[in-house]
Chains A and B, each alone.
Chain A
Amino acid sequence: MISSESHGAWSGSTKPAWLRVPPAAISFAILLGAWEFAVRAGWISDFLFPPPSSLVAAITELGTRGFPDGISLWRHVSVTLARIGAGFSIACATAIPLGIVFGMSPILDRLTHPVITFGRSLAAISVLPLFIAWFGIGELSKIMLLALAAFWVLVTYTIAGVKFVDPVLIRAARSMDATDRTVLLRVVLPAALPRIFTGLKVALAVCFMVIVAAEMIATVEGLGALIKEARNAFRTDITIVGMLVIGALGGATSLMLDALERRLLPWQRASGESS
């Protein structure tokens, strides 16, 4: 069990509330302050290192006039999220069922293992020219690229989750006369869920990396396109805003998945190590 005295001197729980500022906030504040100061003092170029004040101005511009003209930040964000949502969903719908099947069958596992290892090592973006030929230059090729990149990750984690179910749990169920169906649905699947969830988080992070590259081709909408257009217009401030927004979105969706995991798998907290 978790002992309450294990925290001790380092927890800082005796400090007043106003002193308990998250360390991340302090380090970011110092970094941004120094940056702003260095630009104003003329030590570094405001073109190469646009300071926080010009980033704020860029965000305002993106929110009102849009960049390129007429395409607001909100539009870029929603287009990017829609593409990730579609690609990620396709990956979930294919990788999880296939991963379960491959993980359950030692023969299929051995047959598919080399292919999956190869696919996972392949940089997704290198497939884009081929995908454009197959699926056209529009939305579909981008969505399929995300789906492909997420697929390899998710299928790997799902197979591992199914394969490494504690054999005692399966024996316990068998000794209770559980049917194959019950063993699969009520034992193997729940036991594999923590690993599948980890796979979801990693796959989502991969989507956020791949989307930027995918959106640099044949579109003016989406955060990747925003970054590319900003580069073409020599707007480093907007490039950085695009970069920050994509990072923040990736972080926020990952936190949402964490929260969902805690809700759906409340038993996960301590059992990872103990059993």
Chain B
Amino acid sequence: MEALKPAAVAAFEAGAMQGVASVASGAAAAISIQRVAKTYRAADGREIAALSPIDLEIAPGEFVCLLGRSGCGKTTLLNMIAGFVVPTEGAISVGGERVTGPGRGKGVVFQQFGLFPWLTARRNIEFACRQRGLSKSEAREAAADAMTLVKLKGFEDKYPYELSGGMQQRVAIARTLVLDPHILLMDEPFGALDEFTRADMQRELLRIWAARRKTVVFVTHSVAEAVALADRVVVLSPNPGRFKSEYRIESDRPRDRLDPRHIRLEEEIQRDLQ
């Protein structure tokens, strides 16, 4: 089977299949996930495995996509890294520090944006600045910079309901970035947006990521999105959620979706998802 694989794809995957082991040996992982599993107890008392034990090491500055269909545990895993959900087994550390709850340098971007509807765009971002202990004037300055970074100058005093979905998500990203987090956790952040806005936002995210070089964990169920964004795509399969495969992508960004290598890679990942 290995012989049938086109050379380009094989090169793509250099070090992919043994990825877990190879990165684990690296000195300081940004995120280290060790034998982490999650079981929920249903109302009738039965235990439901949301995620079977998984190991994952994510290097500083790496952009990792967790990809899979619903029920594969990708959001559960993200929520455990974020500290919203406590793992049933195993341990997660971020920047060498054991995760015991949310915050502490773990920035989160939500699918439903999570903006405070009673605050304007600027005030939403200033809220985050204030939690970091910035003074009022510092917060104002940082918020203005962040609005410029996400190209929302002129919309500072709009309430979230006055902004389009894409703009709301830009505000949410700006709000997370002003926290200067060690890692950026994104839970299907563009899932609620239309196709065109989604492509724009992917480009924007890559531009911001290139400027700030954060470690990113990005949950998606779109193969094309994962291939467009990630250094590494981790494929999970459902019922129970578990590690399936992973792919390393080394081509430069922004990536051409119609590049035959990308098309072939998408097809291959698609097969893993069946």
Which residues of A pack against B, CB within 8 Å? Answer: 1, 166, 168-169, 171-178, 182, 186-187, 190-191, 193, 265-267, 269-271, 274-275
Contact = CB atoms under 8 A, between A and B. Distances in A.
Contacts of A177: 103-104, 131-132
B236 interface: no
Contacts of A186: 127
Given A174-B102, A187-B116, A275-B112, A267 B161 contact: yes
Contact of B103 (A169, A174, A271): A174
Contacts of B102: 171, 174-175
A168 B161 contact: no
Given A171-B84, A175-B102, A270 B116 contact: no
A180 to B, nearest CB: 12
Interface of A is mostly: helix
Given A182-B131, A186-B127, A267-B117, A172 B108 contact: yes
A265 B83 CA distance: 32
A172 B110 contact: yes
Nearest to A186: B127
Contact of B159 (A182, A193, A266): A266
A1 B167 CA distance: 13
A178 B131 contact: yes
Contacts, number: 78
B-side interface size class: 20 to 34
B161 A176 contact: no
A176 B114 CA distance: 12
B112 to A, nearest CB: 5
B160 interface: yes
Interface of B: 82-84, 101-104, 106-108, 110, 112-119, 127-128, 131-132, 159-162, 164, 176, 179
Contacts of B84: 171, 174-175
The 6 closest A-B pairs by CB, nearest first: A177-B103, A172-B114, A270-B161, A174-B102, A271-B117, A176-B131
20 contacts: A166-B114, A172-B115, A175-B84, A175-B103, A175-B106, A175-B108, A176-B103, A176-B128, A176-B131, A176-B132, A177-B103, A177-B131, A191-B116, A191-B117, A191-B118, A267-B118, A267-B119, A269-B161, A271-B160, A275-B161
Contacts of A270: 161-162
Q: Which of B112, B113, B114 has the most CB of A within 10 A?
A: B114
A274 B116 contact: no
